């Protein structure tokens, strides 16, 4: 099964919170919904962190033009310095 998008996960999480707040669920149902909500919360957090990293990788090149550096989740962008000693990111 494909991983839900951020928006799908957030919508499902909001629905679960509403169900839990209504207080009409049994203890077993409440625990199941709580567990599902925690998983969705972690998925949303992961997707937000990925988006944050991607945004932070939008950098200006030597000509002051914004460019996108491919996102690699497990690696931090490698830095190098130009002749003036300014930090630059490798592509």
Domains in the chain: boundaries: 6-62
Alpha-carbon distances, residue 77 vs 14, 62, 63, 87, 91 (angstroms): 34, 16, 19, 12, 8
Query: What pLDDT score was predicted for residue 47?
Result: 96
| pLDDT higher than threshold 90 for residue 35 | yes
Alpha-carbon distances, residue 20 vs 7, 14, 31, 34, 44 (angstroms): 20, 10, 10, 8, 19
Question: How is residue 49 written in tokens?
Answer: 């962190």
83 vs 6 pLDDT, higher one: 6
Give the fold, CATH level 3, of 6-62: Helix Hairpins (1.10.287)
| pLDDT higher than threshold 80 for residue 16 | yes
pTM for this structure?
0.62
* Distance (Å, whole) CA 41 – CA 83: 45
Query: What pLDDT score was predicted for residue 21?
Result: 96
Contact 73, 65 (CB under 8 A): no
Among 29-33, 52-56, 87-91, the range scoring the smallest mean pLDDT is 87-91
């Amino acid at each position: 099964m494909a991983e839900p998008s951020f928006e799908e996960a957030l919508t499902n999480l909001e629905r679960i919170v509403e169900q839990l707040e209504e207080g009409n669920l049994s203890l077993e149902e409440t625990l199941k919904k709580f567990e599902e909500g925690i998983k969705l919360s972690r998925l949303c957090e992961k997707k937000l962190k990925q988006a944050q990293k991607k945004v932070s990788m939008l950098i200006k090149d030597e000509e002051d033009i914004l460019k996108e550096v491919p996102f690699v989740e497990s690696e931090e962008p490698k830095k190098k310095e130009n002749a003036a000693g300014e930090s630059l990111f490798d592509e």
